[in-house]
Amino acid sequence: MGRRGKAILPTAAMLLCSVLILIEWSQSAAALWLSLPPHAMKCVSEEIHAGVVALADYAIVHEGDPQMAPSVTVKVTSPNGDILHHKENVTAGHFGFTADDPGNYPACFWLDPHHSGRTGASVSINWKIGIAAKDWGNIAKIEKIEGVELELRKLEEAVEVIHENLLYLRKREANMRDLSEKTNNRVATFSILSLGVCIVVSTLQLWHLKGFFLKKKLI
């Protein structure tokens, strides 16, 4: 009995470590840096599924004096072009939204005109999507869960997200397969029609040449 108990404890510890690693992976946020040129706009986008919450913080970093950081204009749009966030003359801020449609959600930054002559400006963007965007501290207080139970709840959410992603990928694969089959059928039909047209044109050319040679009494 003692040996069995000793064998179970390492297994449980390994399982808990695996759970924590998976949760840490599922909660990872996308931290990005963009170098802003003086007279151009730069964008970064994230592919987000419908119904997923996205939060992001951004801040302008100047290579010289931090107090002289230039201001920028920020615009976040949806895949269909709707403006989700638009700020002018800012050096830091945040935005959040719930995706209505699946697709790429771009966030674009450019220097304000009165700062366009300066160089060396960069913007730091910290995306939090899905599980990472949830306020787990507030959820733990409301549902009165903590410790391992809270970590298991995070793991359950991560598993659901992974399952939804797999279903989404399967749906995209099915759509791509249908599109490929339709394209192959169209190409095959076009090839058959092209071959038929070539045969008809060749026959007409032979008939015309035969008539021409007969008229000239060459054959």
Q: State the fold for domain 29-134.
A: Jelly Rolls (2.60.120)
Please say whether the beta carbons of 93 and 72 come within 8 A. no
Confidence band, pLDDT 50/70/90 cuts, at residue 159? confident
Q: HSE on the CB side for 33, CA within 13 Å?
A: 6
Residues 6 or more apart whose Cβ sits within 8 Å of residue 145: 139, 153
Task: Tell me: pLDDT of 67 over 70.
Answer: no
Tens digit of each residue's pLDDT (9 = 90 or more) over 100-154: 888 889 999 988 776 655 565 788 888 888 777 776 677 777 777 777 777 787 7
- pLDDT, one tens digit per residue, over 19-48 is 444 444 444 456 788 888 877 888 988 888
Q: Which residues are CB-neighbours of 31 under 8 A, at least 6 positions away?
A: 124, 125, 126, 127
Task: Please say if the pLDDT value at position 171 is more than 80.
Answer: yes
| pLDDT tens, position by position, 199-219 | 999 999 988 888 888 777 776
pLDDT of 176 above 90:
yes
d(CA 215, CA 219): 9
- Look up tokens 């204009």; give the residue: 73
pLDDT-derived band at 188 (thresholds 50, 70, 90) equals: very high
Question: Cα–Cα distance between 111 and 115 in angstroms, integer?
Answer: 6
Q: Which of 132-141, 170-179, 181-190 has the lowest mean pLDDT?
A: 132-141
Q: Where are the domains of the chain?
A: 29-134, 147-219
Residue 5 is predicted with a pLDDT of: 42
| Poorest-pLDDT segment among 85-89, 152-156, 195-199 | 152-156
pLDDT of 193 strictly over 90? yes
φ, ψ (nearest 5 deg) of residue 127: -85, 140
Q: Angle at which helices 136-143 and 147-215 pack, to 10 degrees?
A: 130
Q: What pLDDT score does 117 carry?
A: 54
